[in-house]
Amino acid sequence: MSSTPTSPRRRGLVVAVVAVTAVTAGFVALTLRSDGVELPPPPPTPTGPEVVTVVAAGDIACDPASSSFNGGEGTGTECAMRATSDLALGLDADAVLALGDLQYECGGYEAFLASYDPSWGRLKDITHPVAGNHEYEEAAASGAGDGTGCSVAPDASGYFRYFGGAAGAPGQGWYSFDVGAWHMIALNSNCPLVGGCGGNSPQGRWLAADLAANDRACTLAYWHHPMFSSGLHRNNGSVTRMWESLDEAGVDVVLAGHDHSYERFAPLDAAEQVEPLGVRSFVVGTGGRRPRAFTNEEAGSEVRIGDSFGVLHLTLGAQSYGWRFLPTTGEAPLDEGTATCA
């Protein structure tokens, strides 16, 4: 972990700095380090020819049999996949990171075609997805109907059929790629269904090799179930070893969904201790299904927004990154800031 003297993160004291321009419920501004040292001004938003932009969200498309589906337009309080995808389309991003639970309630192929495809499917050619728990369900013979009647689909066949090679190898769902100066690592947090998430699991061994081969200064990883969350589902200890591996390798950012809210954490180690050179994480389960209030406040939680649909818009440079959480209402960003890569 990053708190040990031998951690590769000890390659120089680089302090990430937050600059938030919109105050939201649960917001805590970082102006001092934990040891009382005043932080320097935040780095500017990355600019230059190497800069790319990325949109991220999870928990997206409503069950086409839902009473709130409304022809794909939703009701304002549920099924907002059209509104969030319109927002994402308008950002002209270089890549979309789809953070799982992309299709409710039963994530079979026909449901993807009926709900996800007419909305976020418009961004399919630049989408890099990960599987959520609903991708491992499919409609039973009697039909789904507002989320009832799902059966287990242990191979997530509808998800892999819909996304094809973009989702990684069927039965696995982990892969990596580069966008601009950044290395991106997509992981599968449905641990019991893919042989585990420990260091000796197939995914764990693949991750170790991928991290060892990575020579990029900035790295982002993403999966569905958050390591840390103040939402309904709380923390997810099954991904602890993956987080430790990322932290030890100097990974900068982790994204997740699962809880239907937006939350930003300070850089943390796997023990949930604030660590200036730890991993900064975001929960972005605001892609359309239904917002959900928070149930607690986890250590290191800096911003919590539980009543808004929206997307995370990342600006990624060679040595730094910026973020904005944009709501579908057209308001100014509800959270934004910049940080340097560690």
Residues 304 and 332: their CA atoms lie apart, in Å, by 16
Is 30 part of a structural domain of the chain?
A: no
- pLDDT digits 0-9 by tens, 283-334: 999 999 998 888 888 889 999 999 999 999 999 999 999 999 999 999 899 9
Residues 131 and 110: their CA atoms lie apart, in Å, by 16
Q: Which has the minimum average pLDDT: 11-25, 107-121, 149-163, 205-219?
A: 11-25
Q: Say what the pLDDT of residue 179 is.
A: 97
Is 41 part of a structural domain of the chain?
A: no
Sort 26 into a burial class: Cβ within 10 Å, 0-12 / 13-18 / 19+: middle
Question: How many domains does one find in the chain?
Answer: 1
CATH number where 94 lies: 3.60.21.10
Is 196 part of a structural domain of the chain?
A: yes
Q: Say what the pLDDT of residue 142 is.
A: 54
Q: What is the mean pLDDT of residues 109-122?
A: 97
Q: What is the DSSP code (8-state) at residue 242?
A: H
Report the C-alpha dihedral over residues 81, 227, 312, 305, rounded to 10 degrees. 80
Q: Say what the pLDDT of residue 38 is.
A: 60
Which residues make Cβ contacts (< 8 Å) with residue 5, sequence separation at least 6?
A: none
Q: Say what the pLDDT of residue 149 is.
A: 78
Is 43 part of a structural domain of the chain?
A: no
| Exposure b/e, 129-162, CB count within 10 A at least 16 = b | bbbbbbbbbbbeeeebeeeebbeebeebbbbbeb
For residue 340, the SS3 value is strand
Q: Is the pLDDT of residue 10 over 50?
A: no
Q: What is the mean pLDDT of residues 254-283?
A: 94
Which residues make Cβ contacts (< 8 Å) with residue 323, sequence separation at least 6?
A: 264, 282, 312, 313, 314, 315, 335, 336, 337, 338
Is 22 part of a structural domain of the chain?
A: no
Range of the domain at 176: 53-340
CB 168 within 8 A of CB 203: no
Is 332 part of a structural domain of the chain?
A: yes
Place of tokens 């799982």: 100
Q: Say what the pLDDT of residue 6 is.
A: 36
More confident residue, 233 or 107: 107
For residue 105, say if its preceding peptide bond is cis, omega within 30 degrees of 0: yes
Q: Say what the pLDDT of residue 141 is.
A: 65
More confident residue, 295 or 191: 191
Residues 61 and 114: their CA atoms lie apart, in Å, by 9
Is 21 part of a structural domain of the chain?
A: no
Is 34 part of a structural domain of the chain?
A: no
- pLDDT digits 0-9 by tens, 196-252: 999 999 999 999 999 999 999 999 999 999 999 998 788 888 999 999 999 999 999
Asked whether the CA dihedral 240, 342, 320, 214 is positive or negative, the reply is negative
Q: Say what the pLDDT of residue 153 is.
A: 86
Q: Say what the pLDDT of residue 25 is.
A: 38
Q: Say what the pLDDT of residue 75 is.
A: 93
Place of tokens 């959900």: 292
Q: Say what the pLDDT of residue 40 is.
A: 59
